[in-house]
Each structure stands twice: as C-alpha cells, then as structure tokens.
Structure 1
Amino acid sequence: MTHDHRDNAIDDAARAWLIRMRGPDAPRLRHEFEAWRAADPAHHAAYERAEAILVQSAILKGSVRHGQSRKSRLAPQRPFVRRWLTAGALAAAAAMLFLAISAGGASLSGPHGQNPMAAWAAEPLVTRHGEIRSFHLDDGSVVTLDTDSRLDVALTDNARIVKLARGRARLQIATDIRPFRILAGSGQVTTTQASIDIGYDSEGLIGLTLSDGAAVIAPAGQTSHKSVIRQLPAATPLAYRADDAALRLGARSSDFGDSDWPSGWAEYRTIRLDQLVAAANRYAAVPIIIKDPAIARLEASGRFRISQTDTFVRRLAQLFELAVERRADGIYLEQR
C-alpha cells in the first residue's frame, strides 16, 4: 500500500469512527474505538482532523451577531428529542457531509490549512482598527481581542479549537473535559483551563504568556508526538517565530506593554519614544509621526493610555516639552 493510499484509508476509518461514536452504539464501541485511536499516532491525528467537521454548532453567547440567546439555549428539550438530535441527526449530517466532500464538494479552510474536514465557524471574531473587544464563547470562555485582530473558532463535541490569524488575544479558558487548542503560526497550545495572552508582533514573532492554569505547546500538526510537547511555565513571557516548524521557544521582553492591555493601557520601565509611539499607532486613526532622530531616541517610563490617541499625544508633549502639529497625513511631534 502506498503512503497516499494508507493516509486515505486512515482518514476513511477516522470518518467512520466519527459517525459511529455519535450514534446510539457509541457506549458499546467505546473500548474498540479507543484501542484503534491509540494504536497509531496517525489514527489520533486523523480523528482530530475529522472531528472538526462538526463545528457548525452554536459558538457564541452574549452577542447579537453570534448565536442565539442564553434563554433559548437553555430552554428544556424532551429527552428523546435530544438523543435523536445528537445520535441520529448529527451522525447523519456528518455522514452526508463526508459523502459530499468525497464527491468533490467545496473545501473549507480550517485547523489544518485547506483540509475540508476541518471547517471553522462561518463568522470569525474580528476587531477593527483601534477597537478592543471581549467575546463570550458558549463553553463559558472569554476572549478579548486587541486592535486589528482575528480569531477563528471551532467548538465540537470533543474539542474546542481557535486559530489566531492576526493581532493579539487574551483567552480566559473555562474548565471543560474537552481540550482547548490554540493555533498561532507554527505552534499549538493545548489546555483544559487556563488564562493565556498570545499575539503577533511586528517582527514575525508570536509572543505568549500563561498567567493562570496549565498548558502545553507543540509544533502544529505534531501534537501526537510526545517528544515535542513542552509544558508552558507560568508567568514567563515566551516567543517563537510564526514560520518556525521546529518551534524554538525563547524568552521575550514585554514589547506589548504589561498585562493590562485589555483596558487600553501599557506600562513600561523604560522604552524609546519611537517604540512607544509605534505601540500607540496600532490604535491611532491617523499616525503619530516623529521626524527628529533626537526625539525618537528619548526614553520614557510609566503608564500610558496608548489606545486614546489625543490623551497620549498630550501627555508626551507635556513630558518632553514637544510641539504638536496636526497635518492631513498625521500628528507630528517636534521640538518647540
């Protein structure tokens, strides 16, 4: 059997198990299923890919744009109706979608690139330029996105998966038996309960900090190999290159400011003025511009409301006795 044929056979088996384990015979088949999944890391990986097909469920609560109201979600259902929906309709829907994909249906982007078996929710979580916003997921987790950020979300019966496409996020992950997987660049963080900050910087690095709970990290797509899985240390800023397949972790200075960024504030022990302005420009409607290298080299320290451009500019002008000139192309800071 060729490598491609073997992969296809494993994927077919994973799809079949996905349907069986959502049917009425799941309790009887549990032992056999677990034995199959444990027999080969490729089985485990194939099932992870397949299970994401069921993401078209309610994803968010507490937002008019996302999902139904909490009251309607908590409305009582007759037990036999609930069982039919989960064991009958869900399995049938999965089987029909598998069939459609096998017959050449359109691919859906997802946790494994363009793998059609890993569909994300139709509507990602997105913030506009200058916006900081919190979202509540149906599992009880809270996601706060920084300016210009996008997070794709997939919640299934067996896993909770998010992918940070750009920007920065704080994930306050609610306790659940389902693993919570965070994909960002070449890395995948896995936990069941944690509070994690993760985000891209301007130099192609992804920074992350575990502030509460426990989590592990591994190269994306290699989570079945125990030798590459590492425990994340608590309260330790780390970074890796977004395109580094080997996922080499290193220490990271707190270039985004401190942990209070969801409020729009940043605090620095010392930072060059041009770097501080660059942080503020992530929120500014028009850029703050420093032309004079001598001003750019000045150092600042303290707490700054970088998300409020006018307030931020006034404070810099007062601290460093600078003149502020507003032009069509930006806000210029100059010597008086």
Structure 2
Amino acid sequence: MNEDIDTPKRPGNLRDEAAEWFAIMRGPDADARREEFEAWLARGALHRTAYNKIAETFSIGKGLKEDAPDDADSPAPGPASQRPGKLKMAGLAFGLVGAVAALYLGVVSPGALKQDGPEIANSSTPSENAGQLQSKLGEIREVQLPDGSRVTLDTDSLVLTKFDRDLRDVRLVRGRARFNVEKDKRPFVVAAGNGTITALGTSFDVGLARDERVTVQLFEGSVDVRVRRDVSAAGMPVRLAPGQQLIFRAENAATPIQVTSAPGADRRWPEGVREYDGVRLGDVVGEANRYATGPILVAATDVSDRKVSGTYRIRDVERLAENLADMLRLALIRGNNQLLLVKTCPSPQKENCTPPS
C-alpha cells in the first residue's frame, strides 16, 4: 500500500516539487524515500537548479519559526485513518512550501526567519548519518563524516550524505568538494550529475560547474568513475590513477570520456591558495569572483588578456586585486562594492583610484 507516501503532487511546477522534496528529505521518511529523491534529482539540470534554489532560500532562515512542527506529534482533528507521522510530514511540507513561496514573492523578510545559519557540521564534530552539508559564499569548510572521512566544501557548495550498514552514499549537488576517505568495508560512492565515483581509502576532488560539467581529480589511491548513458544503465567504469582527472557533461553522457593529467595548480584550493602560470587575467578574476560578494571587474579585453603567474590567496579578493594591479602595472578603482582594474586612473584623478606603480 502506498497511501502514506507523500509524492510531490505538482509535476508541472519544479519549484513546488523541489520544496516538497526538500521537506521530505528533512522528515522521518528521508531514508525510505532517498532512492526516489535521487532519481528525481538526476532527471536533469532544471531539477537540480530548482532544488539548489530551495536549499539557498532555506539557508537564509534555517529552522522556520512555525509552531506546527513542534506540535505535530499530537494528531490534529481529522479522519482516524490519518496517522501522526503523515500529518507531521504534510505539515512540514506545507510549512516549507509556504515559507519558500513567501520569500520568492517578497511577502516575508529574512528577518522574520530564525537567523542561525545553514545546517553544517563543523570540522570537529561528525555529521549525522544522513544530512546536508553546505558552505556559504566565500567560505571553505571542512566536515568530518561519521566514518572518520573528511569532506572539504569549496565556496557555495552543497553535499548530501547518507550512511548505512552497506554503503557510504554522498551526492554533490552544487560546487566542489575534496574527499579524504577512510578505509571501510562499505564502498564510498559520490554521485555528481549523472555519474558516480567509487573510492576506498583515497583523496580526490569532485566539481560540478554551473554549465553541468563534472570534473574528477585524483590525488591518492584509486577511484572508479561511471557515467550513466541513459536512464536505466551506467557505462563501464573508468579507473583513475593519482595525478589524473576525468571530465564529463552531466547532461551529455554520450560525449566520449577522456582521462588527462590533472593540473597541479588546483591542489591547494582547500587552503584558499591558487597557483597560476601564464593564465589570463580574466580567468583569474573569474575564479576569484566565486568567493567574492564584491567582484573584481576588468575594464577592457586587452587588459583581461594579460597573463598572470604566481601563487595567490584567492579568497582575499581585495588583496588579490591589489597584487594583480601591482604586478601588471594597472590602476585599481574602488567603489560601489566592486574593484575595477583599468590601465590608468581617469582624469581628474579621484581618491578612490590607485594609479599604476
């Protein structure tokens, strides 16, 4: 009998579906519904984007201030066939969908919600067996999992975890993460896009870009990467060796999979450090802006094409802009919550412009 299963009932509205799935995965039926949720999430980029937006909205005010969930253990008046668990789940889903809709419509201000941040385990406390790990914009965060493995979340990343007796199951929904995996009899499997990465006792990165490109880089041990070719079957595994990387498109599994050498310059990102060797200024700025609330801008194409070499702390955006201006002999204009790199200060020169050195 499926009468107690709270399946999302509005297939035509991805936002509502995503909100209901978010509520389900935070409720008592999360374990039972996880496989179904994973299938929904893997249906395409639009589904993942919708879920991301719900998660971001919820992180503004974690733990919505509603009395109904606290009282949900006491059955509300209604038909005798409605059990408390179902009522609790329905109340949670209804409350979350309503709150999310209110935020989208601007009816509720963020101040009306409980302001204690996103639900993230810290580096010293193991996370729950099933949970959601999230990093804020500009943040790099390390999380210890129940088996002793560690996950480092890059800026604005979202990871779902589910550990049981047989499997250590992880899904990267957004961003990038480094996994340092402890040996265990249970396989450690990371899903990203329409692929999976299986590892035992290893260290590797998985990134899911906004264009749905999935990048896997291996540093230690070995991993098997499988890419799903259609809705029913996964492709043959590709085994990576240390120093190799593999890139595939989440929405275009028919594209040939190629294994290449992983760029060593990316290895220190968990420290907030990035190494460049002849990289376009525009590309450096684009990467730095992933961590920035106030972006770096480049005034002209010929300036953007200048080459950058060196080691930089990519998260300190203002200091990075100063160093780039100094190295490339550019002027730096501050204002309007942004940093602008130009060839020279405008005339007459203003105090907010630092001329080339």
Query: How do 1:41-80 residues align onto structure 2 when only pairs under 5 Å count?
Result: 53=32
Label 1:225 to 1:205 Cα distance change in 2 as closer, same or farther (>3 A): closer
Instruction: Using the TM superposition, give the Cα deviation of residue 281 of structure 1 relative to its aligned residue in structure 2, in angstroms.
Output: 0.5
Distance 2:234 2:131 in 1: 33
Counterpart of 1:131, as a letter, is E
Distance 1:226 1:241 in 2: 14
Label 1:210 to 1:131 Cα distance change in 2 as closer, same or farther (>3 A): same
Distance 2:267 2:330 in 1: 29
Structure 2: gaps spanning 5 or more residues:
3-29, 35-84, 91-127, 345-357
Partner of 2:158: 150
CA contact (8 A) 1:54 1:156 kept: no
Label 1:310 to 1:145 Cα distance change in 2 as closer, same or farther (>3 A): same
Q: Which has the higher contact order (CA 8 A, sep 6+)?
A: 1
Instruction: Using the TM superposition, give the Cα deviation of residue 246 of structure 1 relative to its aligned residue in structure 2, in angstroms.
Output: 4.0
Q: Deviations over 1:128-154 (max 9, x none)?
A: 000001000010100000000000000
Instruction: Using the TM superposition, give the Cα deviation of residue 258 of structure 1 relative to its aligned residue in structure 2, in angstroms.
Output: 1.8
Query: How do 1:103-122 residues align onto structure 2 when only pairs under 5 Å count?
Result: none
Post-superposition, which runs of at least 4 consecutive aligned residues in structure 1 deviate over 4 A?
Answer: 220-227, 251-257
State the number of aligned residues.
Answer: 234
Label 1:152 to 1:248 Cα distance change in 2 as closer, same or farther (>3 A): farther
* Higher mean displacement: 151-160 or 253-262: 253-262
Label 1:254 to 1:227 Cα distance change in 2 as closer, same or farther (>3 A): closer
Q: Deviations over 1:28-55 (max 9, x none)?
A: xxxxxxxxxxxxxxxxxxxxxxx96498
Distance 1:247 1:162 in 2: 24
SS in 2 for 1:167: strand
Distance 2:33 2:189 in 1: 16
Instruction: Using the TM superposition, give the Cα deviation of residue 269 of structure 1 relative to its aligned residue in structure 2, in angstroms.
Output: 1.8
Instruction: Using the TM superposition, give the Cα deviation of residue 165 of structure 1 relative to its aligned residue in structure 2, in angstroms.
Output: 0.4
Distance 1:274 1:253 in 2: 24
SS in 2 for 1:310: helix
Structure 1: gaps spanning 5 or more residues:
1-7, 9-50, 56-99, 107-119
Counterpart of 1:170, as a letter, is R
Q: Deviations over 1:92-118 (max 9, x none)?
A: xxxxxxxx99xxx87xxxxxxxxxxxx
Q: Is 1:312 aligned with 2:320?
A: yes
TM-score norm. by structure 2 comes to: 0.58
1:136 to 127, 144, 148: 144
Q: Report percent identity of matched pairs.
A: 33
Distance 2:247 2:137 in 1: 24
Instruction: Using the TM superposition, give the Cα deviation of residue 294 of structure 1 relative to its aligned residue in structure 2, in angstroms.
Output: 1.3
* Higher mean displacement: 121-130 or 317-326: 121-130
Counterpart of 2:188, as a letter, is F
CA contact (8 A) 1:322 1:333 kept: yes
